[in-house]
Amino acid sequence: MTLLKIENATMRFGGVVAVDNVSLHVDQGEVFALVGPNGAGKSTVFNLISRFYTPTEGAITLEGEDLLAHPAHDIAKLGIARTFQNIELFENATVLQNLLVGRHRHKRTNLLSEMTFLGNARSEEKRHRQAVEEVIDFLDLQAYRDKLIAGLPYGVRKVVELGRALATEPRLLLLDEPASGLSVEETQDMAFWIEDIQKQMGITVLMVEHDMGLVSAVSDRVMALSDGKELATGTSREVQSHPAVIEAYLGTSGIQKGGDTGKKKKGKAA
Ligand SMILES: Nc1ncnc2c1ncn2[C@@H]1O[C@H](COP(=O)(O)OP(=O)(O)O)[C@@H](O)[C@H]1O
Ligand SMILES: [Mg+2]
């Protein structure tokens, strides 16, 4: 079943065509990766899906529902969660508090009943706590749950940001460069998390990533973009050996092979 469908999307900023007539579909349960040199249009595709931008042309649907009919603040409610290329967390709040923010879309009670903490509010609060504790267990974040974000190493923040997105219980998870800034070992851990998110939680993942080791390890399908246009779509191997993809990377730092970011052992988040 198709979960996300983008049809002939074009995004122009003045004279710049950031996304040029791109079509793609992501199936339920799939891990789909977008790759391409800097400026290829990858983040713009994410920003179209999360409704930061409205495409100049084209259609975007989630399980048949027209996403363009919804404002950006509806996106979480529709079941789309994302992480950012630059981590965005509340620095002076704890890990637990940041994850509880992710539960916001599930709140049904009104503010007054929350303040008086009566009836429904109490049981709902418990449910949110429980959901967040499950994410903390899932991502091995127990040691950090009451620590402030400001004091945490980069690699742990990256996992917390992933946790905040998971706490919303999304249907579609958008990951913008989940391995950027991570060590080789942390990148391997990230590969495990993504695999578990797909296999155990059944969440569909669309990611942008430069590390081709990670892309190869976790992706079912890959699309390469350059100058806003699709170059090739297929398995990671097919895309990496496609002549148009090889040519697009000539004169750049090259497609990062990323070594053997594989699935050898399950490590810790830190
Ligand atoms: N808000 C914007 N205004 C003007 N140009 C933009 C904007 N966002 C992106 N672009 C341009 O669109 C192109 C694609 O950018 P982007 O989607 O960020 O690429 P990528 O994420 O693949 O590196 C680039 O040329 C970029 O400068
Ligand atoms: Mg980008």
Query: Going by CA atoms, what residue is nearest to atom 1 of ligand 1?
Result: 13
| pLDDT value at 78 more than 50 | yes
| pLDDT value at 65 more than 60 | yes
Whether 154 is in the pocket of ligand 1, judged by its Cβ within 6 Å, is: no
Query: Going by CA atoms, what residue is nearest to atom 6 of ligand 1?
Result: 13
CA of 234 relative to ligand 2 center, distance in Å? 21
- Contact 128/103 with Cβ under 8 angstroms? yes
Radius of gyration of the chain measured on its C-alpha atoms:
19
Distances (CA, A) of 62 to 13, 80, 165: 25, 9, 18
| Closest CA relative to residue 238, chosen from 39, 40, 45, 35 | 35
117: left (phi over 0), alpha (psi -120 to 50) or beta: left
Proportion of the chain above pLDDT 70, given as a percent: 86
* Ligand approaching nearest to the C-alpha of 38: 1
Element (H, E) at 221: strand 221-226
Element (H, E) at 22: strand 16-27
Residue 262: φ, ψ to 5°: -115, -155
Whether 13 is in the pocket of ligand 1, judged by its Cβ within 6 Å, is: yes
Over the stretch 153-189, which tens digit does the pLDDT of each residue have? 999 999 999 999 999 999 999 999 999 999 999 999 9
SS3 category, 108: coil
How would you class 13 by CB atoms within 10 Å of its CB: exposed for 0-12, middle for 13-18, buried for 19 or more? exposed
Instruction: Please name each of the domains of the chain with its CATH number.
Output: 1-79+172-270 (3.40.50.300), 89-169 (no CATH)
Whether 150 is in the pocket of ligand 1, judged by its Cβ within 6 Å, is: no
Over the stretch 219-235, which tens digit does the pLDDT of each residue have? 999 999 999 999 999 99
pTM (2 d.p.): 0.88
